Amino acid sequence: MSGEPRIPAAGRSVPSVRFPEVQRDIHGRKALVMSEHMQVDNIDRIFTVIDLDGNGEISLDDFGAMARGVGREFELEAGSPEVQRLLEAYQDVWDYIRGADVDVDDVVTKAEFRQAHETGRLSTSELLEKWQVVSRCAFDLADQDGDGYLDEDEFAGIYRGAGVTDPQVAAIAFGAMDVDSDGHLDRDEFLANVRGLFTATDESTKGARMLSGN
């Protein structure tokens, strides 16, 4: 919801003697640690958005609620083709992330979600690939006139339907994404920012502010 993003390799190799090079390498490693922390923050924010009812757990019901909620924002019934395509994309995401459900109780907690990324049971790149499909379906659903663009209200409708009720979050995200300030986002730009949400290593990266609210 594209190539597979990679976390940059950690620092340069340290020369045996030149102290200034060692200093630069230390700084590089510190920068990488900050980048990794930001990716953890992104993972936590993604969990929070998926956890629609805020109970600290993700289940298939959360995904169903998001799909139906986005449909309602655009006056579409749950059985409409557009909502059904979105539901199928969410189902694919759930089928993947349930691999983090170590106690097999059909819910994934925040701790399980993060641990699964840290241990490799979930891959950011694989989750991104599946979430890009969700994003394409959501974009097409919201693009009611079929012109290939979302205006700010259509964009905000996706956020509201998915359970992000603070209008400032959507407004800030749209402002950061609409780089030419023409009041519209095309599909490619929308998807590029979704990709950045998963892979951002600093606040200037596309997508880093999609859920930040500041």
Q: Is the pLDDT higher at 186 or at 8? A: 186
**Could you tell me the sign of the dihedral formed by the alpha carbons of 123, 126, 132, 137, in that order?**
negative
Cβ atoms within 10 Å, residue 131? 25
How many degrees, rounded to 5, is the angle at CA 95 between CA 187 and CA 133?
10
Q: What is the pLDDT of residue 46?
A: 74
Instruction: State pLDDT tens for residues 147-199.
Output: 999 999 999 999 999 988 889 989 988 988 888 889 999 999 999 888 887 77
- Tens of pLDDT along 49-89? 678 677 899 999 989 999 999 999 999 999 999 999 999 99
Angle between helices 124-142 and 187-199 (to 10 degrees): 150
Helix (H, G, I), strand (E, B) or coil at 214: coil
Beta-carbon contacts of 172 under 8 Å, excluding residues fewer than 6 positions away, are 209, 212, 213, 214
The pLDDT of residue 197: 76
Which residue's structure tokens are 């979302």?
150
How far, in Å, are 132, 142, 161, 184 from residue 136 at the CA level?
Answer: 6, 10, 15, 16
Asked if 126 contacts 32 with a C-beta cutoff of 8 angstroms, the reply is no
Higher pLDDT, 30 or 184: 184
Render pLDDT for 85-121 as a digit per residue (tens, 0 to 9): 999 999 999 999 999 999 999 999 999 998 998 888 8
Contact assessment for residue 210 and residue 196, using Cβ atoms and an 8 Å cutoff = yes
pLDDT of residue 154: 96
The confidence band for 203, taking pLDDT boundaries of 50, 70 and 90, is low
- Assign 213 to helix, strand or coil: coil
